[in-house]
Structures are given as structure tokens and as C-alpha cells.
Amino acid sequence: MSGAVDGPLHGIKILDLTHVWAGPLSVRFLADLGAQVVKVEAPYGRGPRVYPMAPIGGWLGGEPGTEPWNVNAIFNKLHRNRRSLCLDLKQTHGRETLLALVGIADVLIENFSADAMSRMGLGYDVLKLANPQLIYVTMPGFGSTGPYRDRVAFGPTVEPMSGLSCMLGYGPGEPRNSAMALMDPIGATHGAAAVVTALRQRESEGGGAYVELSLHEGGVAFSGPWLIERQMGGNPMSTGNRHPHMAPHGVYPCAGDDQWVALACENDDQWEALCAVVETLERDMTLPLRRQNEDEIDARIAAWTAPRAKQNVADHLQNAGVPAGAVNAAPDMLADAQVRERNFFVAYERFATPMPGNPIHMAGLDPGQWSPCPALGEHNDEVLSQWLGYDVDRIHALRATGVLLDEPPD
């Protein structure tokens, strides 16, 4: 079937019922590794015909055009290498069609709220009957059990419950939220890890699997070292940009408006290298001494960086053996010589929109094969005929009854 690319997951059939960020990103990683992914989309899954507001990432090409639901830049970023099947699961024939697909799929992945699939009559008990070998992955924000299971969960509201907000900030008692919904990409990577783990388990032990991933637990897992340190009597707290075991470790102003460079000294060798560049620093300072004098050290470094361009500072320090990098904004990221040399951003999407690539570099993967995000329902006929063997009349009947769509209803 078209859509899949070469890769180690070639031949693995995934039904993608995910939405927003964590789920689609998780599936993108699997699609990049060759899985055959069918995005099973609700008629309004990409929004209505007329958008009430511009999407956060904007429109591909800058304008909504006549089919705004197909040019939402963030949605497109997350949905390469997939086929789109737009199916109304509220209708009996829609659910029957999904169950037929489940019968031949390897994986179904969704990130609805805890009971949503069961309420549609598509809980794991039903799916398992259709295919006992199915890997079913569910990603509710707080999991499907426990006292918080029914809470509304978005990445930004789950984040403070992980403990991270107490560490992120300019100092103790001044918590901050990343405002980047970091719980979602944590869920995404671990969702993909869970799928391959379950597939390997199926290969060795047989049988399908029920896989559950909680965004909340992803965040708490990443706070794990602090949670253990706390049990051991430590008291981890926010120290701004400083680090408990490195000094200096910070972000320093550079020439221009809101331009900065980050640097760190992990050891005495790097400190000495920094001292060779920033001559106002005193070479004979061990880590404990540097930590005691961080205010003064930071001031001297800032005095040196302030009149200089951030990329020049980073180059200069790196050449001297000091870990340093410019605080990049979007244009800097796209222009970075390293990511350009490695072809990380890929312009396979419409309007030559550069999209983040796949960090996995290995033989057998070729971004040149990637296909852009499909239009809503673009592969309705292809999926139903190739995966299920439906004939033209049967597909037509589904379309005529509104089960199968290729645009949001009026």
C-alpha cells in the first residue's frame, strides 16, 4: 500500500486514532520507521469547515484557502507518511468498518479520555474479540484507573503535578510552567517505545496486548532522580539557570535584542579553557570555590559575552573546548550549519515548509521517500479496497450514508 516508507517496521499495520500532540507524534516516529499507518479520522477531527481562529502554527502557505482543515501546519507536521481514512464512528457501519480493520491490524493507538472508546462500543474487550493478536495502546492523561482517571488532562496542566514546576524558575518559591506542554512529547516517545516493546513481546510470547500510557506518569518518571534525592534527605529546588554540580552553568547576554548564549563547565579542564578566553576569570578555582562565587563569575562572563554576537561567542568557546551554544530562535535553528549538513529539516510538505525530520540515522531509512500529510479522507477508497477488499459499490454505500467522508460536514 502507498504511504509507507522503507524501514524496520515495514509491514506493521497501525490504526492511528490519536489527536492533538502526544499521540500523533508517537505514531509519526513509528511511521518514519516504515510502519503502514492509517489515520482513522472523525469527520470533524481536523476541525470544522470554517475555523473560528487561526491555528497556533499557522496555515501551510500562510492562508487557509478553500480547505482550511487540510492546511493546519501543526497537524501536517505530525502526520507525514500516513493514509487518511475519514470514518464516522458514531454510526454502526463506521464502527463495523473499524472492527474489520482491527481484524487485520497489528496496532491500534488512541489518546482519548479514559472511557471514550468504551462509550463508542470500541473498548479493548470488543477490539480483542475482533483480533486477539492486536496491540491496543491507550494514552489517557492520568491513565485508566485511579482517583484522577476522569480529570481533564492537557500537557500544561499535568506538568505541575510532576514536580517539574518546583525546579523550573528563577529561584525557590517562584514556580514556572514550561508553557510548552512537555508532557506530550514525553508521552509520544514512550508511546512509540511501548509499541515496539509490545510487538517484540508478541513475537516471543504470542497474543495481543493492552498497553497503557499516562502522560502524568511520564512526567513523574522524568522527575525520578529528584524524587529519589528527596527521599535520601536532599532538598532539590529551583536555582534558576544554575546546576548543582557544574559551575559556571548559565545563559549570558550577547549583542543585540534578546540574544543569549548558554555555556557550562562540566569539569576543571573546561573551566581552564574558559579562563583562557575570558581573561578576567581566575584559573585556580575548584568546583566548590566556583559555586561559592557564581555571582561574580557570571558577571565577568556576561561582561565578556555582552558586546559579542551569540554565534561568534559559541564558536569561540567551542574552539577553546568549552561547551557553549547560542540560544536559538526558529530562524537560527533552520540555519544551523550542523542540522543543515545532516539534512534534518525536510521540505517534503506543501509550500516547501521545512518540517522537523527523524533523528534516527541508519541504513535503510530514506527521508526522500516521505509523503506529506494526506488530505482528510484522501485514502478512503484505497484503504477499504486494499486492506478489506471492499468493492466499489460497498464503498459507495458507505459514502452515500455519510459513514465515509472526505471533508467536514456542513
Residues in 43-62 that interact with another protein by CB under 8 A = 52-54, 56-62
DSSP state of 350: G
* Separation CA 38–CA 29 (nearest Å): 14
Nearer to another protein, 290 or 379 (CB): 290
Site membership for another protein, residue 117 (CB under 8 A): no
Cell numbers linked to 33 = 520507521
Based on the shown chain and the rule CB under 8 A, indicate whether residue 402 belongs to the binding site for another protein: no
Instruction: Please state the closest distance from residue 136 (CB atom) to another protein, in A.
Output: 10
**In the bound complex, what is the minimum distance in angstroms from residue 93's beta carbon to another protein?**
28
Cα(84)–Cα(137) distance, rounded to whole angstroms?
Answer: 19
260 lines the binding site for another protein (CB under 8 A): yes
Distance separating alpha carbons of residues 21 and 121, to the nearest angstrom: 24
- Write the binding mask 370 to 399 for another protein: x where contact by CB under 8 A, - elsewhere: ------------------------------
Among 112, 226, 304, 370, binds another protein (CB under 8 A): 226
Nearest approach in angstroms of CB 137 to another protein is: 8
Query: Taking CB under 8 A as the criterion, which residues in 162-191 touch another protein?
Result: 162-170, 175-182, 185-191
Beta carbons within 10 angstroms of residue 297's beta carbon: 24
Contact with another protein (CB under 8 A) among 214, 313, 387, 404: 214
Only one residue has cell 517562584, namely 174
Whole-angstrom CA distances from 367 to 77, 189, 193 are 14, 19, 21
Tell whether residue 152 is a contact of another protein (CB under 8 A).
Answer: yes
Q: Is 283 helix (H, G, I), strand (E, B) or coil?
A: coil
The phi, psi pair for 85, rounded to 5°, reads: -125, 115
Binders of another protein among 93-112, rule CB under 8 A?
Answer: none
Residues β-bridged to residue 87:
404
Coil, helix or strand for 249? Answer: strand
CA-CA distance, 23 to 77, in Å (whole number)?
A: 13
Interface of this chain with another protein, residues 335 to 364, rule: CB under 8 A: 336-339, 341-342, 344-345, 353-364
Residues 13 to 32: which contact another protein by CB under 8 A?
21, 25, 29
Question: Residue 215: CB partners within 8 Å, gap ≥ 6?
Answer: 22, 139, 141, 142, 153, 155, 158, 183, 184, 186, 187
Q: How far is the CB of 287 from another protein (least distance, A)?
A: 9
CB 144 to another protein: min, Å: 9
Task: Report how many residues bind another protein under the rule CB under 8 A.
Answer: 155
